[in-house]
Amino acid sequence: MLADGSQPLRGGAEPSPARPEAKIFHHSFAATPFAVRTALRTALARFLRQLSPDEAGTLELVLAEVLNNIVEHGYSETEHGTITLSLVRDHRGLSCSISDDGVELPPACLARSIDKTQRPEPQALPEGGFGWFLIHDLVEDLGYHRANGRNLLAFRMPVACPPVA
Amino acid sequence: MNLYAEARAGALIVTVDEERLDAAIAIRFKDRMREVTMQPSQRVLLDLSRVGFLDSSGLGAVVAVMKSLSPERSLELVGLTPNVERVFRLTRMDSVFTLHPDVDAALRKGMRHAG
């Protein structure tokens, strides 16, 4: 499902001189690594003009970490399941929410200030365990809610420039 | 998984011809690296200049390849694009790899070590 809050109503008397900037992205997709790729590409394309290259790269990294965690751990790589990604652009930045019907997120992933001693040590040549540290480092206002077997993760991505009116 | 290997000036240059090195191809990347590094060479230069996006799964795969080659052989990284460099920097994994801006610079460095 795709919804774009920026589309002008058809048949409206008002001509739109310039295409208004997208404000909402909403997309549900299968919990597979390739569907995640497609969702990331579509989401990034929607907001690309409102983000600096650095902000776009950071947003894509954070979303990739969250979504691939759901594919890998939430649904245990069964590829049976759906993920819903919503992004809303407002005057403060980008508000992101992700929901799925997979297993509950372990509380350790969410600890407000995640235990720094658990951070992978470069000299130990870790092959994983980076994901949640990257997420905590890069997002603001991370919150999680589980109800009726459904996970909802929400956070904000700081974006410097205000949206173009 | 598009990956090419070429022996040059005593090094094996492996070029990743993919826009993304992510969770979707991390396992295939490791498998292909195992195949192409059968070719003996002390230095393996991994050219990532065509890779515009890397996530933590891609990073983990690069680390796994480095570990599979060590200690006899080195894995050095070439041409990190800004999005790829960011992941190495945020995880501080840039501290455990030798990084080169491009293949020529990497090969020159090798020559200097040899001389």
All structural domains of chain A: 24-158 (3.30.565.10)
Say if the Cβ atoms of B86 and A123 lie within 8 Å.
Answer: no
pLDDT digits (tens, 9 = 90+) for B51-74: 999 999 999 999 999 999 989 999
Residue with the bigger pLDDT between A45 and A1: it is A45
- The minimal CB distance from B23 to the residues A54, A68, A120 is found for A68
Residue that wins the pLDDT comparison between A28 and A119 = A28
For residue A62, give the chain B residue with the closest CA.
B55
Q: Which of B20, B83, B90 sits opposite A137 (nearest CB)?
A: B90
Distance from CA of B83 to the nearest CA of A (A): 6
Q: Which residues of chain B neighbour A68 with C-beta distances below 8 Å?
A: 22-23, 55, 57
C-alpha–C-alpha distance, residues A100 and A30, integer Å: 10
Provide the pLDDT confidence category of residue A117 given band limits of 50, 70 and 90. Answer: confident
Contacts of A123 in chain B (CB under 8 A): 96
Question: Do A80 and A98 form a contact (C-beta atoms < 8 A)?
Answer: no
Determine the Cα–Cα distance for residues A32 and A81; give it in Å rounded to an integer: 9
Min distance A109 CA to chain B CA atoms (Å)? 15
Is pLDDT of A5 > 60? no
The residue that leads in pLDDT, A90 or B4, is: B4
* Domains defined along chain B, listed by start: 3-114 (3.30.750.24)
- Check whether A4 has a pLDDT greater than 60: no
Distance CA A118, CA A110 (A): 13
Looking at residue B109, its pLDDT comes to: 87
Please check the confidence at residue A59 and state whether its pLDDT lies above 50.
yes
Average the pLDDT over A3-28 and give the result.
Answer: 62
Distances (CA, A) of A53 to A139, B85, B114: 17, 13, 39
**Interaxial angle between packed helices A131-138 and B82-90, expressed in degrees from 0 to 180 and rounded to the nearest 10:** 100
